Structure 1
Amino acid sequence: MGRVTGVVEGFATIIAVIALGWILARVGLFDLAAQQLLSKLAFYVASPALMLTVLASADVSTVLSSNLVATVAAVGVVVVIYALLAVFVFRQGLADTVVGALSSSYVNAGNLGLPIAAYVLGDAALVAPALLLQMLLLQPLGLTILDIAVAERRLSWWQVVSRPFRNPLTLGSIIGVTLSVTSTPMPRVVHDPLELVGGMAVPGMLIAYGISLRLGPRPGAGDRPAHLWTIVSLKMVVQPLVAYAVARYALDLDGAELLAVTVIAALPTAQNIFVIASRYERSAVLARDAIFMSTLLSVPAVAVITALLT
C-alpha cells in the first residue's frame, strides 16, 4: 500500500502544477503568447541550468549499471518501430518523426521518475541510468537531428558536427558531465544562481503545458487519433514489456532491479518533449496529447506493475 501511495503522490504533484497553468489560462492571466514565452524560458535558460547543476553533482558511472542494457533495448525497439511507421504509414518528415519518436520513448525520469524511484522503489538512484541516458544521448541526438531537419539550407559537415555544442540544453549537459567526470566543484557564486534559475525549469514546463491544455485543441481531438494512440501504445505497453523481457530473460535480473527497470519504462512521456516540439514548431499538439494520455495511463500501469512484481 505504501508503494502505491507513493505512485499517487508523485503523479499528484505533477498534475497540481499542470492544473495551475490551466487555471491561469482559464481566468485570462496567461495566453498562448505567455505559454510560448514560458516554453522558450524553459528551453533556452532554465533547462540548461538544471542539466548543468544536476549532472555536475551526479555520479555518471551509475549509467553503466546492469539495468542500462534493458533500458537501452526498450528505447531502441520503440524508436525503430516508430521510425518505420513514420516512414511507411504516417508519411512524416524528419523533424516530426523525431518528435514522435521522443514522445514514444522519452520517459519522465526527472520530475516524476525521481519521486517514484524514491517512494515506490525505495532508492532514487535507480532512476539514474534512464535519466543520464536521456540527458547524455537521446536528447542531444534528437536536438541535433531537429536542428538539421529545420535548417533552411543544407548544412556543411562542420555545422552538423558543431551543432550539439551550440544547443543550450546539450551544452549544459556536456558542461555538467565534464565537471562530474573531472570532479571539479563549482564555486557557490556560480552554482547557486544556476541552481536558482534551474529551479524554474520543471514548473515552467508544467505551467506552459497546462496553458496549452486550456487554450489549445482538446486532448485527443487531433486529426489523426490513430497516430496518437500508436505513440501511447508504444510508450505504455511496448516499452515496459521490452524492458521487462530483456531484464528478466536476457540479464536475469530480479527483485528491486527488475521492478526498477519495468516501472521506469512505464513512466509517461516527459513534459520537456512538448517544450522541444514547441521550440521547433513540429507536432507540438501531438506531443502534448501523448504526454496527457500517457500520464493518465501511467498511474494504473505503475500501480499494477508494482503489485505484480513485489
Structure 2
Amino acid sequence: MILGFATIVAVIGVGALVAHLGVVDLGAQQVLSRVAFFVASPALLVTTVAQADVSDVLSRSLVATVAGVAVPAAGYAALAGWRWRRTSGEQVIGALASSYVNAGNLGLPVAAYVLGDAALVAPTLLLQLLVLQPLALAVLDADVRGRRPSVGDVLLRPFTNPLTIGTLVGLLLSVTGWQLPPIVADPVELIGAMAVPGMLLAYGIALRLGPGFGGVVPAAELALTSSLKLAVQPLVAYAVAHHALGLTGHPLLAVVVCSSLPTAQNIFVHATRYDRSTTLARDTILVTTIGAVPIITLVVWLLG
C-alpha cells in the first residue's frame, strides 16, 4: 500500500519539479492530458479490461460497490446544484471526484499487497469503466454542446468516446478469449503504458503552475467532495455489504478497502478535457490521496 502511494507521489513530484525548473509550461499539462485522454488511456483500457475476469463483476460485492458510488455522487450533485448552482458538467466532475476511485494504478497494487489478490478490485474497475465513465462522458459531451443530454446522447454518444471504445474492445477480448496478434498487441501495450505517468505528470505540472490550492473553489465544496469520498463512500459500502448482504471476512474487507481508495487521477484529465471544475478535481485528488492512507490503514486494522 505504501509503495503504491509513494510511486504516485514521486511521479507527481517529477511533474511539479520540471514545471518549477521551467522545463515545461502550463501548455504541457494540456498536451499530456489530451494525449492521455485520446491515445494512451484507450490503449491501457484495451489491455486492462481484456485481462480482467468479467464474471467477477457479477457478485454481491458489486451491489455494495454501486451503493457506495451512488450515495456520495447523488449527494454532491443535489447539493452542488442547489447551493452553488453548478452546471450539469460541473456536477458530473464533482460527483466523480466524490465517488470515482483510483482502481487502476493504485487499486491494483493495493489489492495485491493489502488484500492478497489483485482480482478483488475487478468489480470496482469494471463498474467504473463500463458504466460510470460512459454515462459521465455522455453528460459532459452534451454539456459542452450547451444542451441537456437526451436518451440518444446517453445511449449513443459514449460509443464515440475513445475511452469507451477502448473499454468495449477490451471487454470483447475478455469475453471471447481472443488475443491480439503481437504486431498489434505490443504497440498498444507500449502506448498504454504512458497513460498513468502521463496523467500524473500533468497533475504535477498543474499543481505547480495552476491556481493555488483551492483557487476559486469554495472551501465548503472541496470539503464536501473530500468527505464524501473519504468517509461516506466506504461507510455506505460497509453498511450495505455487511448489514444488507451479509458479507464478512475477506470479501467485506475487499469491498471497503476498494471504496476507500482516493479519487482517480483521470477525473482531472476529464475535467481538463471538458474544462469543467478543473481546480475542484485537482484538489480533491490531492486531499483524498493524502487522506486515503490513514483511512485504508484503519479499515485493514478494524476488518482485516
* Range into which the TM-score falls when normalised by the shorter chain: over 0.9
> What runs of 5+ residues in structure 2 fail to find an aligned partner?
none
Residue identity (%): 59
User: What does 1:129-278 align with in structure 2 at a 5 Å threshold?
Assistant: 129-152=123-146, 161-278=155-272
8 Å CA contact 1:106–1:269 kept in 2: the answer is yes
State the match for 1:127 in structure 2: 121
State the match for 2:77 in structure 1: 83
The one-letter code matched in structure 2 to 1:91 is: R
Number of residue pairs matched?
304
Q: Mean alpha-carbon deviation: is it higher for 210-219 or for 126-135?
A: 210-219
The one-letter code matched in structure 2 to 1:306 is: V
The alignment yields a C-alpha RMSD, in angstroms, of 1.4
Normalising by structure 1, we get a TM-score of 0.95
> What runs of 5+ residues in structure 1 fail to find an aligned partner?
1-6
State the match for 1:33 in structure 2: 27
The alpha-carbon deviation at position 152 of structure 1 amounts to 4.6
2:240 alignment partner, SS class: helix
- 2:69 matched to 1:72? no
Listed one character per residue, the Cα deviations across residues 41-96 of structure 1 (whole Å, up to 9, x for unaligned) are: 00000000001111122211111122111000110111111121022112111000
Listed one character per residue, the Cα deviations across residues 190-247 of structure 1 (whole Å, up to 9, x for unaligned) are: 1111000000000000000000010112223444010001000100000000001111
8 Å CA contact 1:219–1:292 kept in 2: the answer is no
The alpha-carbon deviation at position 188 of structure 1 amounts to 1.0
The one-letter code matched in structure 1 to 2:75 is: I
- CA distance in structure 1 between the partners assigned to 2:154 and 2:65 by the alignment: 28
Kindly tell me: are residues 157 and 241 of structure 1, through their superposed partners in 2, closer, same or farther at Cα, counting changes over 3 Å?
closer
The one-letter code matched in structure 2 to 1:170 is: T
The one-letter code matched in structure 2 to 1:86 is: A
The one-letter code matched in structure 2 to 1:111 is: N
The alpha-carbon deviation at position 157 of structure 1 amounts to 6.3
The one-letter code matched in structure 2 to 1:36 is: Q
State the match for 2:298 in structure 1: 304
8 Å CA contact 2:16–2:205 kept in 1: the answer is yes
- CA distance in structure 2 between the partners assigned to 1:269 and 1:156 by the alignment: 28
- CA distance in structure 1 between the partners assigned to 2:63 and 2:151 by the alignment: 31
Normalising by structure 2, we get a TM-score of 0.97
- CA distance in structure 1 between the partners assigned to 2:149 and 2:65 by the alignment: 32
2:60 alignment partner, SS class: coil
The alpha-carbon deviation at position 154 of structure 1 amounts to 7.3
Kindly tell me: are residues 287 and 53 of structure 1, through their superposed partners in 2, closer, same or farther at Cα, counting changes over 3 Å?
same
- 2:94 matched to 1:100? yes
